[in-house]
Amino acid sequence: MRITPLHPALGAEVAGIDLGQPIDATTRQALSHALADHLALVFRDQALTPAQYLAAASVFGPPMEQHYSQHNMPEFPLIGLIWHQNGQQPAEQWHTDHTNRERPPAATILYGVEIPSAGGGTSVANMRAAYVALPDDERRRLEGLTTFNSLERGRADTRREDQDKYGAPIEHPMVRTHPVHGSRAVYFHISKATHIAGMTPEASQAYMSDLLERMMRPEIVYHHAWRKGDVLVIDDRATMHRAHGDYDRRERRVLWRIIVEGDRPRLA
């Protein structure tokens, strides 16, 4: 296994691993630490069946249910299909996944199955670096704040069963300590957070969007330009990510998504 950094702030390519084969305990451990260190791992030229993909993803944690179940693969419901010909919009706003869960994902894993000829990349930002770059007084302020998280309102296609299972408000700290790495990172999802504790929804949204604007400098962002067969593993505990809708919508862009369960976010 060889690990080569892809960007000064985060992201590394992992070579010498076929994710279609069983992965031994030593390699699993090394990959889990590599993810905590580099925050985004890229495996090129993979050829995986859904079952092989699920087995590989479990290196990073137990695959968990995704709450917009209408987009899950019928025979493999732990794999979500990301494609835009079925009415989904690319998630172009910075976010981390499924913050409305008590134990949100440790990682989001994406497999490039069909890739448009240009555009349609995925950007990942290092929220550990974003935290360090904030002024001292704002870092202290953020450490005292929590968000309440729920499924996005106003999405007409949300199934009633998903709303019932995953709609209850869940509180998370806005700064969390990484369970493997021990460092702190800024943590929130602007459209899943209904509000910040003690603030109105309007003031909460205004503060989060101002924070995003100040934090997301190019120095802390790795942009992944997809190739067919790429597997991109994103550490959701210390990053935010976004899709880019800058591709020809007549072309197909199909990613298979797995999320794996992590710990309950806490600030240590």
Buried b (16+ CB within 10 A) or exposed e, 165-175: ebeeebebbbb
Minimum CB distance to Fe ion smaller for 17 or for 230:
230
Residue nearest to Fe ion (CB): 97
Minimum CB distance to Fe ion smaller for 17 or for 193:
193
Minimum CB distance to Fe ion smaller for 68 or for 76:
68
With contact defined as beta carbons under 8 Å apart, do 81 and 256 qualify?
Answer: yes
Residue found under tokens 């990172």: 185
Q: Does 236 bind Fe ion (CB under 5 A)?
A: no
Minimum CB distance to Fe ion smaller for 98 or for 184:
98
Minimum CB separation of residue 236 from Fe ion in Å reads 8
Kindly state the tokens that stand for 189.
Answer: 């999802």
Taking CB under 5 A as the criterion, the residue among 9, 31, 46, 97 binding Fe ion is 97
Minimum CB separation of residue 35 from Fe ion in Å reads 16
Name the residue among 76, 82, 75, 178 with its Cα closest to residue 122: 82
- Is 176 strand, coil or helix? strand
- Is 13 strand, coil or helix? strand
Minimum CB separation of residue 95 from Fe ion in Å reads 6
Interactions with Fe ion, residue window 120-179 (CB under 5 A): none
Residues 6+ apart with CB under 8 A from 190: 93, 94, 95, 205, 208, 209, 212
Minimum CB distance to Fe ion smaller for 128 or for 242:
242
Minimum CB separation of residue 15 from Fe ion in Å reads 26
Residues near Fe ion, by CB under 5 A: 97
